[in-house]
Amino acid sequence: MSETMTPAIDPEASVTALAPLQSDLLLGFVGIVHGLTYRVPGMGLAEGNVGFGAPRDKADAWAMRQLWCRAIGVDPERIVTMGQVHANAVIRVAAEDAGCGATPESTHLGYADALITDAPDVVLTTLHADCLSILMVDPERPAVAAVHAGWRGTVVDVAGAAIRAMRSAYGTRPSAIRAFLGPAIGVCCNEVGEEVIEAWREQAADLGPLADLAVQRPGLKDHFDVPRANTLLLQRAGVLPEHIEVSPICTRDLRDSWFSHRGHGPGAGREGAMIAIRGDRAG
């Protein structure tokens, strides 16, 4: 489905009716599979949530993960997750790590905000409720990355850290990377304090006037444009502008279809962003 559309499905329909959000840019690569889940009122106990965190029911979340993974075309038993801490650490995922954090009984791989791998059939997964997901593909190796970027991760350049890790681990050329920035809280709704803008300006000091593109002041307080900021950081790291696709969806504004911490409160569910290299490489 196009990222410009608000997802809508019949909650009573079979899993074949689920249409995970996908990037037109990433769909162009045979052997790479990806998809984003979202909020579906009436689906399961928590509207399609795939996060295990309290107060959500873990058994229901695992059932939802299985449904979504079938729709995306990946194995839920081979999901890999991390403890997301709003920083810029990156974990290199090996084939033997598949399944870390997949089921309610399993343990995530470690604490970080970016996962990278060149191993086939490893399903890198990040969880979101307003924070930005970034899925990246190096089609030459191939290798993939999944990044969780809230404002804190953005101002410490977690996206750039992931690219540097891919370059070090796999010889990835930043100019070859394709990146999809998924739904997140938009600048329209992301009112922030002065400390956020100060941290951004410090991180983006070398960008000059371009840094101002990620800041708006529609009222008494600043609004921070996390997708725009990460677009600038990806380009600074060497990703070509034409190799970046950005979803226009604001999760708080469209909270009927997306989980939103700002819109639903601390008990909000989580959507998942998943990416993997197919083992058969046949697509």
Mean pLDDT for 263-281 is 93
Per residue in 88-143, pLDDT tens? 999 999 999 999 999 999 999 999 999 999 999 999 999 999 999 999 999 999 99
Query: 50 in a domain, yes or no?
Result: yes
Task: Report how many domains make up the chain.
Answer: 1
Q: Is the pLDDT of residue 256 over 50?
A: yes
Element (H, E) at 70: helix 58-72
- Per-residue pLDDT of 5-45, as tens digits, reads 334 444 444 455 799 999 999 999 999 999 999 999 999 99
Q: What's residue 283's pLDDT?
A: 40
Question: To the nearest whole percent, how much of the chain has pLDDT over 90?
Answer: 91
C-alpha to C-alpha distance for 45 and 86, rounded to whole angstroms = 28
The number of C-alpha atoms within 13 Å of 277 and in the hemisphere containing its C-beta is 20
Question: Of all helices (H) and strands (E), which one includes residue 271?
Answer: strand 271-277
- Check whether the bond before 55 is cis (ω within 30° of 0): yes
Residue 4 within any structural domain of the chain: no
Residue 211's pLDDT is 98
Question: What's phi and psi for 146, nearest 5 deg?
Answer: -130, 125
- Position 248 in a domain: yes
- Extended beta strands in 150-253, E state: 178-181, 215-216, 223-224, 244-246
> What does the block give as tokens for 225?
């444009």
Instruction: Assess if residue 3 is contained within a domain.
Output: no
Instruction: Report the amino acid identity of residue 87.
Output: A
Q: How far apart are the first and last CA of the chain?
A: 18
Q: How many CB atoms lie within 10 A of CB 257?
A: 21
Residue 262: the pLDDT is 95
Structural domain contains residue 87:
yes
Whether residue 240 is predicted with pLDDT greater than 50 in this model: the reply is yes
> How far from chain centre, in Å, is Cα 180?
9
Q: What pLDDT was estimated at residue 17?
A: 77
Mean pLDDT for 230-234 is: 98
- Residues forming beta bridges with residue 111, ordered by sequence position: 83
Mean predicted lDDT score pLDDT of the chain: 94
176: buried, middle or exposed (CB in 10 Å: 19+, 13-18, 0-12)?
middle
Convert the pLDDT of each residue in 137-149 to its tens digit. Answer: 999 999 999 999 9
- 72 in any annotated domain: yes
**Residue of 124, 118, 52 whose CA lies nearest to 81:** 124
In a domain, 1, yes or no: no
The enclosing H or E element of 145 equals strand 143-149
Please report which confidence band the pLDDT of residue 280 belongs to, taking 50, 70 and 90 as the band edges. confident
Write out pLDDT tens, residues 62-94. 999 999 999 999 999 999 999 999 999 999 999
Which helix (H) or strand (E) segment is 92 a member of? strand 90-92
pTM, two decimal places: 0.93
Strands 114-117 and 132-138: unpaired
State the residue range of the domain holding 233. Answer: 26-277
Q: Domain with 85 in it: what CATH number?
A: 3.60.140.10
In a domain, 237, yes or no: yes
DSSP 7: P
Q: How far apart are CA 262 and CA 254, in angstroms?
A: 11
